[in-house]
Structure 1
Amino acid sequence: MNASFNPAIRQSFPIAGMTCASCVRRVELAVAKAPGVVAASVNLATEAAEVTFDPAAKVDAAGVIAAIKGAGYEVPVETSEVGIEGMTCASCVRRVELAIAAVPGVLKASVNLATERATIETLAGAAPRAAIDAAIRKAGYEPRRGDAGATAGTDSRKEAHDREMSHLRRDLAIAAVLTLPIFVLEMGSHAIPALHRWLAMTIGQQPLYLAFFVMATLVQFGPGLRFYRKGVPALARLAPDMNSLVVLGSTAAWAYSVVAVFAPGVLPSGTANVYFEASAVIITLILLGRLLEAKAKGRTSEAIKRLMGLQAKSARVERGGEFVDVALEDVAAGDVIQVRPGDKVPVDGVVLSGSSFVDEAMISGEPIPVVKSEGAEVIGGTINKTGSFTYRATKVGADTLLAQIIRMVETAQGSKLPIQALVDKVTAWFVPAVMVAAALTFLVWLALGPEPAVAFALVNAVAVLIIACPCAMGLATPTSIMVGTGRAAELGVLFRNGEALQSLKSTQVVALDKTGTLTAGKPVMTDLEVAEGFGRDQVLSLVAAVETRSEHPVAAAIVAAAKAEGLALDEVGGFEAIPGFGVNAVVGGHRIAVGADRHLARLGIDVQAFAEAAARMGEMAKTPLYAAIDGRLAAIIAVSDPIKPTTPQAIRVLHEMGLKVAMITGDNRRTAQAIAARLGIDEVVAEVLPDGKVAAIKRLREGGRAVAFVGDGINDAPALAEADVGIAIGTGTDVAIESADVVLMSGDLLGVSNAIALSKATIANIRQNLFWAFAYNASLIPVAAGVLYPISGTLLSPMLAAGAMALSSVFVLGNAMRLKRFKAPVREVASMTAPVLAAAGSETTP
């Protein structure tokens, strides 16, 4: 990972109709050729394409959709209507249309002035109603409530999934009812001679075959029609997929049987055999496999469903001087909201009045409710306990913390890992190669096989076509990613992209920031020694006044100490912050400078007078700061940031995992060395500026070592971006979180070892899936072709091939689902089972 930021525009496109890895490859190649597209990544499990557009070019969603349709697949599109108030003329109409059309995911917007309604076409689930409403408001108009809006992405995809499940159940039931009599009577007559004689005497062979023909034809062109709808156009485009293989295999068996029943004379003598049971069973078993796949794929997205379940459905918002219940999507930033005992907090905001205890376990992992009073921030999805309060909404819709968490999980689940590149290369030629293999199988058996050669050739060629469907290959990676990242979210670990999930397992060095990462990030002032000629209260008052303008935790500690002593703080002027050095300001006519020794050195002020005190403080892991008043050294101030309770255990666990641990900090070297000695940290890089942290990461990487950096502050963002994997403490700043690849929601370092362990488990699971998928095809295609026949007389019937093909996908999905039972190697003191998802299962009112 490098420090540059990619300004490219990304948009997700849902895709319907993909069934295997070759579909994925075909869509990616088609979309990559669309105008303005820089890259395209298609995920079979999420059934979506993540498309990256050139920021210099216009986003051409229509071009991407045309490319997807040209490849033979569909892009689900929703049409909705929104009422709009405030329009008066045609220019209003145009303004609203342009505003709505600019929302990502909107394909077309048509506004009618007479009816005051907008008809909107959107990609399924891509443009939530809240985003459209916000665009209308930004244009100067008001969306009218009570109208059918765009369905939320999760709901629309769930509806589509449920609809597909219903169709699969119906088709499978029909196919099974029609196939079972054919299978029982045909195979039973071969296995039981008495049954064969009874059927011949009571029904007769020709009437029986006619009945088989009717039932098999109903299966072939009833439930089996879904394969023709996709497979035949794919064949026509010379881009065959899994459906094409099913169509070729089942149709060959069915058509040969039709000829054997109605025109046996055209076939060589002794070859007029019927395979209606094979054609019907192939379709039935593949439908069964599709149904089992759909069920398992539905379970892989449970993490998103549970996250969505954390959201409140409504809010009590002040309207006209009284509080009324409104739908969550009606809440706007700036609204005043009332929260009663037992309520979920609807959106993010700041408390205006009242106080209560709020359960924030879903975010912090801390089981003890947090007190909230005037000025405190509250987070949407958390649960109010005993009291009542009102607060002003600051973030709504997609801007809330919970929505960002959902977006992170969705992004990670839709990612494509580097390991998937191998699958893509193979599947690019796999299906055509299978068709060639089937054709060669037919020709070899026809030329060299025993009599009836045509029958042997047909059966083995069909078996090759059916068993080689690359469904398992396409599902091997994305299903593991979906389940693995979902389980990670349950443990309070959010992977922001799939690459981090793969690369984290290779980490050899974990580099840690100190403040807010190793320590609590809430330092306290412990010492203040003044130089001769200065009074303690005077110095503390002046320094604290300057520090009121700084957001640094050390500044907050000094201000808190001054307030605790009841000192008055004067107005501050000319404030200047120099990152990595200190601050300058003017207070009460005095020029004040506060910072590290290097800051005063830049100002030409010698700090040697406090050398002994600084050494003593450093040995006690206290951070020394210096203050100068009017160009004279005035005081040395010691601030100590307590180490988090779980930090020693976290360092110990990382060492047990065979990892080296380094600390990179801008703090005083003596202080850093003291902390490192207490914690057993292997390497220390101290007194570095933000760009120095980047250089330190590069040095740690020497020798080919993979480095993960853990930080929480704005000054950590460059290092987070530079590291092979950046891990942000979720209680840190938004900039740090945005720069990271992994976010630890609890703020606890034990999450690092959990993240690494889960990365290793997920990648191991993917490799198991890929091995099974590749080994399955590599080993069974030759068996289906009949290579064992000369040795042992073994042949693989098309029916068994269809069953094995379906089971291979079910095996891969079942193996991926094992990640749901992943156990974290360590449990955090603050009960890490609680964050994010576990809260969904424990929401109770007091």
Structure 2
Amino acid sequence: MATQIFQLQLSGMSCAGCARSIERALQAVPGVTSVNVNFANEVAAVTSTNKTADGLVAAVQQAGFDAALIDHQSATPAADPRQRAQRQQWYKFVAAALLSTPLLYTMVGHFSFTAGIYVPAWLMNPWVQMALATPVQFIIGWQFYKGSYTALRAGAANMDVLVALGTSAAYFYSVYLALTEGAMAAHQGLYFETSAVLITLILLGKWFEARAKGQSSAAIKQLLQLQPKHALRQQADGSAKLAPIAELVVGDIIHIKPGQQIPADSLVIEGTTSVDEAMLTGESVPADKQPGDTLVAGSINKQGFVKAKVSKLGKDSALAQIIAIVEQAQNSKAPIQRLADKVSAIFVPVVLVIALMTFLVWLLWLAPGDYRSALEATVAVLVIACPCALGLATPTSIMAGSGRAAQMGILFKQSDVLEITHSVTTVVLDKTGTITAGTPTLTDLEIDLKGIQELTPEQLRAAVQALEVQSEHPLAQAIATGIEVDSSTAKMVQLTDFTAHTGRGVSAQVRLVHTDTDAEQPSTSHHLQIGNLRLMREHNIESDAWSARQQELEEQGKTAMLISWDKQLVGIVAVADTVREHAAEAIAALQQRGLKVVMLTGDNQLTAAAIAAQVGITEVRANVLPEHKAAAVAELQQQGDIVAMVGDGINDAPALATANVGIAMGTGTDVALETADIALMRADLRSLLHALEISEKTVGNIRQNLFWAFAYNTLGIPIAASGLLAPWLAGGAMALSSVSVVLNALRLQKLRLNS
């Protein structure tokens, strides 16, 4: 049964524990095959056989959270719930701060060095303090009680449980003192300010965290902003009228003026221009466009006026596919996150045990009978132990790193690929289209018809062109384009039984039509073959007479193919492919990083060696058929290498799938390469260096975040348990830890690469 991926925008989560609760709720929905909940951007990616997301949204709501389906193609996109939640959090903080500030002022009386500061007597009244603290505790802070109930009902414990327990302990203990001690309770030490200030600081931290998390998805927002809203659609009379993008259909003719965004993926049919595709490919130099060239939606027409025919719309467009790939990477889980998930799953229960032990140790041994000291230490432990930073450590870095990569024209399809790419030890490069430009040209065509009476050189040239026209191979297209044949000679050649011999060449039956004034006289059928030495040997065709010339051409870096007519060699044709401009530079940089670089090609050894020498590659595997490239990659893996395979994503599909990391080179429209793990939207090998460096920097950033998140809790809990950390300071430190982790991850958005 076919599956599809739904993306749900979530709200109401407070920590990684909430994400796990939502995952469990979604996994219980019939038809769901996989679920990934990203706490950092509050998005659930659900793979399901269901046709609608209604059951998924209902499951999330039943679990105590809110959800809405994300649909970038909607004509009227829904408001971002994260922005609404962010505003609500700010309003709550402001209200809590107004009520908590008078309570915070009463704390000056607790310290000897501030004893001289005047504090109004009415402000020390327990009932006044209770009146100020109660709205903060139960109205503004209700979200923590709600979150605690949701988590406990699901059989889990999250950050809200710790906050609710800590602040409730301080609040209700103060209520107890107010009821039993009356006006003297202030002298016993009330904790209304502790509970209120804690909630206020946590709300402030959550607001900062929400703002920072919103910035981590900046790449997606920028891509969405590229989607045009209107287009100039040509009418039946040739005039153009402004129309919404939603009303366009494939085949419509659109007019694109200088300075306008390209409204839809399309093909130029009239006019020339240059187009800025930097936001899609990372390439700062505008690309020249002429009739027949592809335009990508969201890019900017710089100069000329063009007319174009719409080719793709909606989810099929290049921009939509780029957005989908970036979201897929950001919403997936990296292997390194599993450690954080395992720790956070048991963290809160362990903290509750530690808090109970802290209370008992203080009450029974460190300060016998001193409930005040025991309560302060216990509340500090509960608050400082909130594992928010741990839950944010990995996903925020993944979001920022993959988003920065997308801005540079590098699309990581999964977060695990982003994590492992930097550990590659061997890079395997396909020759044609990767090291070379993939646009070969005809350089030589030599013919010798000695002993063949019925055939002229012009007829053979026409037959070679007619045969190669039927092949889709780049080398065949170069030959067909390079041969010039007059129309009268071309009419004399008729081809049947065309056959493509994969990795070897092509063949067909040829009839030469002779014309005179009376009638056309068809000749007998002849067998024409064009291919490499392997094809000739398979058909027992003697090739020694041409071997020296073939070797000479191949030593020049050309691909030479033999031509046989009825099993007799009658000529040789050669094409050459130019090395990409920055290929040698990029390969040298890869080698400087300590990577082994291998060239894999179906060309013969001499041609491959000539190209390899131009770019500085010493290990070459030639004469490798497409179906054998995967075996070559597997052989390197068996030697212990971690292999990245770079190819065109089509002929190299098996090898790309076999490699540890499959990388497809494209031009901005080839982003739907199913077998590749990474799509390089620029046909430039320097993008491969950038991918390696982004992976390295992102993993380093994740490790920094995890280290500080673990260190924060490891050091903070004992300090709080020892009584050296006031509860309100613990709340501030907890909020600061989450914000610092997110801000550290956001540094990746400004990443400047060395390569």
TM-score over 0.5 (shorter chain): yes
Contact 2:108 2:115 (C-alpha < 8 Å) held by counterparts: no
Matches of residues 165-564 of structure 1 in structure 2 within 5 Å? 165-192=86-113, 194-195=115-116, 198-199=118-119, 203=121, 207=125, 209-264=126-181, 272-321=188-237, 322-364=239-281, 367-533=284-450, 535-563=456-484
Q: What SS is found at the alignment partner of 1:418?
A: coil
Distance 2:214 2:421 in 1: 27
CA 1:812–1:564 in structure 2 vs 1: closer, same or farther (change >3 Å)? farther
SS of structure 1 residue aligned to 2:389: helix
Q: Secondary structure at the match of 2:506?
A: strand
Partner of 1:86 in structure 2? Answer: none
CA–CA distance in structure 1, aligned partners of residues 43 and 151 of structure 2? 19
Q: Deviations over 1:307-355 (max 9, x none)?
A: 1222322101123433210112221111111112222221112223333
Structure 1: tracts of 5 or more residues without a match = 1-5, 77-122, 130-148, 787-793, 827-846
Q: 1:352 to 1:359 in 2, by over 3 A?
A: same
Q: Which amino acid aligns with 1:575?
A: F
Deviation at 1:358, TM superposition (A): 3.0
- Indicate the SS of the match to 1:29: helix
Structure 1 residue 584: Cα displacement:
2.2
Which letter maps to 2:557?
A: A
- For residue 796 of structure 1, give the secondary structure of its aligned residue in structure 2: coil
Q: 1:365 to 1:301 in 2, by over 3 A?
A: closer
Residue in structure 2 matched with residue 754 of structure 1 by the alignment: 690
Task: Report the AA paired with residue 437 of structure 1.
Answer: I
Residues 669-684 of structure 1: pairs in structure 2 closer than 5 A: 669-684=605-620
- What CA distance in whole angstroms lies between the structure 2 residues aligned with 1:218 and 1:176? 12
Distance 2:598 2:81 in 1: 49
Aligned-partner SS, 2:111? helix
Q: Structure 1 counterpart of 2:502, which letter?
A: P
Tell me if structure 1 keeps the 8 A contact 2:469–2:476. yes
1:75 counterpart (42, 67, 82): 67
d(CA) in 1 for partners of 2:175, 2:165: 15
**Mind listing any 5+ residue stretches in structure 2 that lack a counterpart?**
513-525
Change (3 A) 1:236 1:340: closer
Match of 2:73 in 1: 128
CA distance, structure 2, for counterparts of residue 501 and residue 446 of structure 1: 50
C-alpha separation in 2, matches of 1:189 and 1:733 = 67
CA distance in 2: counterparts of 1:167 and 1:421, whole angstroms:
32
Q: CA deviation at 1:644?
A: 0.7
Question: Aligned match of 2:23 in 22, 28, 36?
Answer: 28
| Residues 712 and 732 in structure 1, CA contact (< 8 A), matched pair in contact too | no
Counterpart check, 1:582 vs 2:505: yes
Does the residue aligned with 2:557 lie in a helix, a strand or coil?
Answer: coil
Once structures 1 and 2 are overlaid, which stretch shifts more, 392-401 or 449-458?
A: 449-458
**Structure 1 residue 655 and structure 2 residue 613: aligned?**
no
Distance 2:609 2:31 in 1: 52
> SS of the residue aligned with 1:604?
coil
Task: Summarize deviations over 1:260-289 as a string: whole Å, max 9, x none.
Answer: 112239x9x999431111101110110111
Say which is worse superposed, 729-738 or 605-614, in terms of deviation. 729-738
Shift of 1:356: 3.0
Pairing 1:677-696 to 2, within 5 Å after superposition? 677-696=613-632
- Find the aligned partners of 1:181 and 1:597 in 2 and give their Cα distance: 91
> In 1, distance between residues paired with 2:496 and 2:670?
28
Aligned counterpart, 1:832 = none
| Correspondence 1:621 to 2:557 | yes
**In the alignment, residue 574 of structure 1 is paired with which amino acid?**
D
Q: CA RMSD in A?
A: 2.6
2:67 is paired with a residue of what secondary structure? coil
- The 1:320–1:478 alpha-carbon spacing in structure 2 relative to 1, beyond 3 Å, is same
Distance 1:237 1:493, change over 3 A: closer
User: Residues 377, 499 of structure 1: CA spacing in aligned structure 2 closer, same or farther, 3 A cutoff?
Assistant: same
SS in 1 for 2:638: coil
Label 1:664 to 1:205 Cα distance change in 2 as closer, same or farther (>3 A): closer
Q: Please state how far the C-alpha of 1:403 moved relative to its aligned partner.
A: 1.6
Name the SS for the 1:651 alignment partner: helix
Name the aligned partner's letter for residue 35 of structure 1: P
Partner SS for 1:738: coil
The letter for the 1-side match of 2:93 is: L
- The answer as to whether partners of 1:216 and 1:276 remain within 8 angstroms in 2 is yes
Q: Distance in 1 between matches of 2:138 and 2:157?
A: 20
TM-score normalised to the size of structure 2? 0.92
Instruction: Report the alpha carbon displacement of residue 767 of structure 1 after superposing the two structures with TM.
Output: 0.6
Give the Cα separation in 2 of the matches to 1:283 and 1:727: 48
Instruction: Give how far 1:734 is off.
Output: 4.5
Residue equivalent to 1:796: 725
Q: 1:565 to 1:444 in 2, by over 3 A?
A: farther
Q: Write the letter of the residue equivalent to 2:654.
A: P
Identity of aligned residues (%): 44
Q: Deviations over 1:738-758 (max 9, x none)?
A: 211111111100111111011
1:366 is displaced (CA, Å) by 5.0
Does the aligned pair in 2 maintain the 1:716–1:736 contact within 8 Å? no
2:751 maps to what in 1?
822
Distance (Å, rounded) in 2 between the aligned partners of 1:42 and 1:812: 19
SS of equivalent residue, structure 2 residue 335: coil
Deviations 1:387-422 (A, max 9, x none): 222221110111111221121111111121011111
Partner amino acid, structure 2, of 1:804: A
1:375 aligned partner, one-letter code = G
Task: Select 1:603's aligned residue among 510, 526, 539.
Answer: 539
Of stretches 764-773 and 401-410 in structure 1, the one that deviates more from structure 2 is 401-410
Cα deviation code 1:15-64 (max 9, x no counterpart)? 221221222222223333332333222111121222234xxx65684554
Q: Separation in 2 of the partners of 1:359 and 1:150?
A: 28
Following the alignment from structure 2 to structure 1, what is the Cα–Cα distance between the partners of residues 301 and 98? Answer: 54
Shift of 1:383: 2.2
Residues 451, 190 of structure 1: CA spacing in aligned structure 2 closer, same or farther, 3 A cutoff? farther
Deviation (angstroms), 1:521? 0.6
1:752-794 deviations in Å (ceiling 9; x for gaps): 11110110100010011011111111121122122xxxxxxx5
